[in-house]
Amino acid sequence: MEYQKILEEIYREIKPEIGRGKVADYIPELAKVDPGQFAMSIVTVEGKSYNIGETKKRFSIQSISKLFTFTMALKMYSKELYKRVGVEPSGSPFNSLVQLEYEHGIPRNPFINAGAIVVTDSLIDHYKDEFITLENILNFIRAISTTPDININPYVAKSEMEHGYRNRALANLIKSFDNLHSDPVVCVETYFKHCAVEMNTQELARSVLFLANRGTDPITKKRFITPTQAKRINAVMLTCGHYDASGEFAFHVGLPGKSGVGGGIVAVVPGKMGICVWSPALNRYGNSHAGTLALELFTQKTKLSIF
Amino acid sequence: MEYQKILEEIYREIKPEIGRGKVADYIPELAKVDPGQFAMSIVTVEGKSYNIGETKKRFSIQSISKLFTFTMALKMYSKELYKRVGVEPSGSPFNSLVQLEYEHGIPRNPFINAGAIVVTDSLIDHYKDEFITLENILNFIRAISTTPDININPYVAKSEMEHGYRNRALANLIKSFDNLHSDPVVCVETYFKHCAVEMNTQELARSVLFLANRGTDPITKKRFITPTQAKRINAVMLTCGHYDASGEFAFHVGLPGKSGVGGGIVAVVPGKMGICVWSPALNRYGNSHAGTLALELFTQKTKLSIF
Amino acid sequence: MEYQKILEEIYREIKPEIGRGKVADYIPELAKVDPGQFAMSIVTVEGKSYNIGETKKRFSIQSISKLFTFTMALKMYSKELYKRVGVEPSGSPFNSLVQLEYEHGIPRNPFINAGAIVVTDSLIDHYKDEFITLENILNFIRAISTTPDININPYVAKSEMEHGYRNRALANLIKSFDNLHSDPVVCVETYFKHCAVEMNTQELARSVLFLANRGTDPITKKRFITPTQAKRINAVMLTCGHYDASGEFAFHVGLPGKSGVGGGIVAVVPGKMGICVWSPALNRYGNSHAGTLALELFTQKTKLSIF
Amino acid sequence: MEYQKILEEIYREIKPEIGRGKVADYIPELAKVDPGQFAMSIVTVEGKSYNIGETKKRFSIQSISKLFTFTMALKMYSKELYKRVGVEPSGSPFNSLVQLEYEHGIPRNPFINAGAIVVTDSLIDHYKDEFITLENILNFIRAISTTPDININPYVAKSEMEHGYRNRALANLIKSFDNLHSDPVVCVETYFKHCAVEMNTQELARSVLFLANRGTDPITKKRFITPTQAKRINAVMLTCGHYDASGEFAFHVGLPGKSGVGGGIVAVVPGKMGICVWSPALNRYGNSHAGTLALELFTQKTKLSIF
């Protein structure tokens, strides 16, 4: 199939939609981004790359980082991890606190904020120190993306910290149920920092390729996780990857995916490829507007939806 | 692939697990069922059938009927239906009422009870009368399963009605938000009745074949719904089909599926086949214990999981 | 003290406020009432009466009837009643369903709808039949008010029944927790009927006089309940009598009281008198606007607040 | 009336109940207290004192301090305070977080933890600095109790801080709704510190005397707050002073009161006296078991209940 041609078609069709929606503005650092940007990258298990738009421009990966920390924690703790965080979809955001309370501090899945905070805590637990934890998160992302110079944007991290009271509320509530081992302030800070990692679509598409290939990088042959763990991660992405629009995304796109408020979305075609699309203006669910449409067009044109 | 051999293998391996768990006992009629039963059927898009166990024994399809009524309503109302019922996963059962209240009487998806009640109401709306509605539901199920003698077990329906106060609470609450057009008592009665339909695994596997073939029965060539609608239904089954174990099912089985407390589970392998498994003893999530394991073995052995 | 003069003063001062607010309009029968009406009556334990305004005009007592059914149930069941309904204030109306669910169908107090429905159920339980129950409720109200011709307005009752889905939702939910013995539809109907009783302020002030006199009518010397029960009822009125404005009422008025959406409020000055005020236009909490202000002026002028 | 004799009677009758229940053990410093202690003090508006038991032994006043900070804030901000904290009873503790969320960070009343944290924040706002705030809280308590040497137990404060994650969760959630001006960590620390004030029953009975006398100390003639503010505070104590047992306390005791998990309870007889009782073993609602019974006996014997 002519993926490059398909990307070009998508770009043409999507153009009027780029910039529609609203850039994340809850922190000043994200609000500054030009909404009229777009990029899409594909890396196949055979090692071929296809790119369109500003695929070298780095952006804030935000919640996409939850995919990476969840992968690390699953590798470390295997099934033990599920004692601390579930794998079931959650309801409306309104319910996050009541659900956490009703379920005694066990977050429903690793992709809601409460769950990602517990996952970050499990990493700090393992590495004993938050700086070493961050360094290892960065090294893991560098390894899966085969890009050595990936880093955190400290201004974004700082901006988050100045407005992250709700996340601190979650962390303290989890701690009150004894499901957080580190200091809530430190844990949330580490979480904000890994959300502030910056990558471009080429690097992100490459970074999820191992999830399309049963846990092993098909090019370097490096095995990151077991096939079962890869299947688990893909299943959790499909059912929980897009907040309160996971059902919509499953239907419209039909691929395991994870989005971030920076406007990036990664997706996995099991057995075939890793994909990343980016466009900063968000729809009302907090997912990239043009990005979601681009992925929808992609599965329509390629018939690669899993459904 | 040798599906018959695989079914036989599964049956051998699953045997010690048959009967483990607990038969649904909230109504006397379901509590009477012998837990030690098992059946599994496959129908491929090429029209081949494979069966193991008591595949001719009919059982109460219960919530599997929600799949059929949702299909009917989606065909009738298309996107208009989403104004009355969402397609997003819900959280824990505890939240069902609070969520309904917070979201002003719009149930999260057609597979939770509140959503299925609204779907049933939309059918009564269309057919104007509850008896004609039931007749049309039966006729639809007869058509998709190509089995003319499918019927309701009136004892099960009656038993449900005597214990269905929670469902009546949901229906009245939805009505108070003006999202129910019929009388709540009548609507819930109609809902209980279609849950009391009895079918066997052969009939059920056949009945979901059109969902594996983009909405059209691959054997009779009869088109029931559009490809887009079939994709939507499969996506909703994957994200919401198993109550509070939808994430677990997505991971372990990796197929769109819908279970019922009668012990049946239907699943769809897009492009390939319809499946039904039945074993009455349930796990703690209310899904068939041996049935879930059988499906898990099936996707392991055939590598047909979508992930 | 010159109570008549005080009533006249209050009437003068309150005049510009009469008719401000909004008549209950959730049922057509109540929406018809002229908002510009006002009446206030006092009956002292010495048997003296003081009246101002339209004190002979009957109105729908609505939730004030909960006070009478609670009194009957407490007399019948004594402490046993608390197994089925609590005596603690509830939070916001939004929480009513979630609280009922979290507390397994035990309503927080007899003055929220859920609690009043359970109280009505306990009376049906006792009298075995809903018509005999209603007759006894009427007879009790006739006895405490020494007025033989008190009756139900069937149009108001019917109007309520046509719009009472939320109350039916509550009743069915309670039934699902086994805390309702009668049929939910019948119980809610009985509840709506006793809410549709019509009385005037003279009759209502007289009807609560026994609560100001430790359970015994100070004029007829008839003992209705024990002193302890009277104290309990007064305490529950103070903490829970005005929905989500109970704290405001406790502060501004400082007397045990119970309001209804018909615009009536009864209040008790322990050891001294029964009071009733009526004016149909309601404030945003659903309590009579002019009525609340009149009671506030009354305790300011007489210094009879319990605080 | 012979108050001393009544206290002696109560002490005799209550003896078998002293020590029954459970000392607060969520922090080690409180868990150490000997449960077999009891003290009760009365100070009348005429300046007479009556004491029984260990009335000179100081204990941790805990939530009783919320009464003092609420008084200070009401004096400072008058009605403006109600924009930040309500005066209505709350429901079950389970609902605290969901209610705070539903009501956009406005706590229901100043006696639940969320409300007391906002009140503390309002004091920090006024005094600009947390140490000056604490000094002023201490000075206010010293003034109303006419006792210069009242202080904080730093071990109790430290112990609270090590286990106060739930309170930090509340503070951060409130902050996320912009209803907290200071740093949540600092605010909660200040809150814990004023809860760790130590006083005896003589000092506490004296300290609430101004609330029994319309805001003015009847002995020193010093006016602390207006009569309206005193009435407000008494009303809030009655409806919200005892967590989830406020209704029970209103009925059994029938006086405005505020309890703390240190085992102390203060109560006010409007126009007559201030009371304090102390016994560390708590009932299941977290209120002093013997203390509550002693107050109940007191109002029974003296007929001073407001109902």
B276 beta partners: B41, B266
Flag whether pLDDT at A91 surpasses 80: no
CB D201 within 8 A of CB D51: yes
Flag whether pLDDT at A253 surpasses 80: yes
Q: What interface predicted TM-score (ipTM) does this complex get?
A: 0.91
CA angle (A244 as vertex; B87, A176 as ends), nearest 5: 130
pLDDT at site D245: 87
CA angle (A177 as vertex; A175, A180 as ends), nearest 5: 35
First to last CA, chain C: 20
Instruction: Measure CA D166 to chain center.
Output: 20
pLDDT at site D92: 67
Give the model confidence (pLDDT) of C180-198 as tens digits: 999 999 999 999 999 999 9
Instruction: Tell whether B246 is within 8 A of chain A (Cβ).
Output: yes
Task: Identify the helix (H) or strand (E) that includes residue A2.
Answer: none
CA angle (A169 as vertex; A164, A173 as ends), nearest 5: 150
Q: Using CB atoms, pick whichever of A98, A108, A250 lies closest to residue B239.
A: A250
**Residue C17 pLDDT grade (very low, low, confident, very high; cuts 50, 70, 90):** very high
Q: Which structure tokens are listed for C227?
A: 């002193």
Q: Domain C3-62+197-300 is in which class?
A: alpha beta
CATH of D3-62+198-302, one of 3.40.50.2300, 3.40.710.10, 3.20.20.220, 3.30.70.270: 3.40.710.10
Please list every residue in chain D whose beta carbon sits closer than 8 Å to the beta carbon of residue A121.
none
Least confident of C100-104, D71-75, D134-138, D164-168: C100-104
For chain D, the farthest-separated pair of C-alpha atoms sits apart, in whole angstroms, at: 54
Asked if B3-62+197-301 and B64-195 have one fold, the answer is: yes
The residue of chain A nearest to residue D168, with distances taken between CA atoms, is A172
Torsion of CA A148, A149, A154, A155, to 10 degrees: -140
Eight-state DSSP code of residue B85: S
**Residue B246 pLDDT grade (very low, low, confident, very high; cuts 50, 70, 90):** confident
Give the model confidence (pLDDT) of C157-171 as tens digits: 999 998 899 999 999
pLDDT at site C100: 87
A240: number of CA atoms within 13 Å, CB side? 34
Considering the domain B3-62+197-301, what is its CATH architecture?
A: 3-Layer(aba) Sandwich (3.40)
Closest CA to D49 of D150, D151, D146: D146
Flag whether pLDDT at C154 surpasses 70: yes
**Residue A95 pLDDT grade (very low, low, confident, very high; cuts 50, 70, 90):** low
* Domain at C64-195: CATH code: 3.40.710.10
Mean pLDDT of chain C: 94
Neighbours of chain B (3+ CB pairs under 8 A): A, C
* Domain map (residue ranges) of chain D: 3-62+198-302, 64-195
User: Residue A235: CB partners within 8 Å, gap ≥ 6?
Assistant: A87, A256, B247, B250, B251, B254, B307
Closest CA to A53 of A295, A306, A286, A277: A277
Which residues of B are tagged catalytic? 63, 66, 191, 243, 261
**Residue C92 pLDDT grade (very low, low, confident, very high; cuts 50, 70, 90):** low
Q: Which of D66, D175, D193, D258 is catalytic?
A: D66
Instruction: Tell whether D213 is within 8 A of chain C (Cβ).
Output: no
Which residues of A are tagged catalytic? 63, 66, 191, 243, 261
Instruction: Tell whether D88 is within 8 A of chain C (Cβ).
Output: yes
Which residues of C are tagged catalytic? 63, 66, 191, 243, 261
d(CA C269, CA C288): 19
User: Residue C27: CB partners within 8 Å, gap ≥ 6?
Assistant: C156, C159, C160, C162, C163
Give the model confidence (pLDDT) of B20-55 as tens digits: 999 998 888 889 999 999 999 999 999 999 999 999
Q: Residue A82 carries which side chain, given as an amino acid letter?
A: Y
Give the model confidence (pLDDT) of B172-197 as tens digits: 999 999 999 999 999 999 999 999 99
Q: Using CB atoms, pick whichever of B231, B245, B270 lies closest to residue A251.
A: B231
B24: number of CA atoms within 13 Å, CB side? 24
Please list every residue in chain A whose beta carbon sits closer than 8 Å to the beta carbon of residue B88.
89, 244-248
The residue of chain B nearest to residue C169, with distances taken between CA atoms, is B169
CATH of A66-195, one of 3.30.930.10, 3.40.50.300, 3.40.710.10, 3.30.1390.10: 3.40.710.10
Please list every residue in chain D whose beta carbon sits closer than 8 Å to the beta carbon of residue A165.
172-173, 175-176, 184
Give the model confidence (pLDDT) of C69-80 as tens digits: 999 999 999 999
Check CB contact under 8 Å for A170 and D169: yes
**Residue B95 pLDDT grade (very low, low, confident, very high; cuts 50, 70, 90):** low
Question: Can you give the C-alpha Rg of chain A in angstroms?
Answer: 18
Q: Using CB atoms, pick whichever of A99, A250, A306 lies closest to residue B92.
A: A99
pLDDT at site C81: 96
More reliable by pLDDT, C103 or C86: C86
Considering the domain A3-62+197-302, what is its CATH architecture?
A: 3-Layer(aba) Sandwich (3.40)
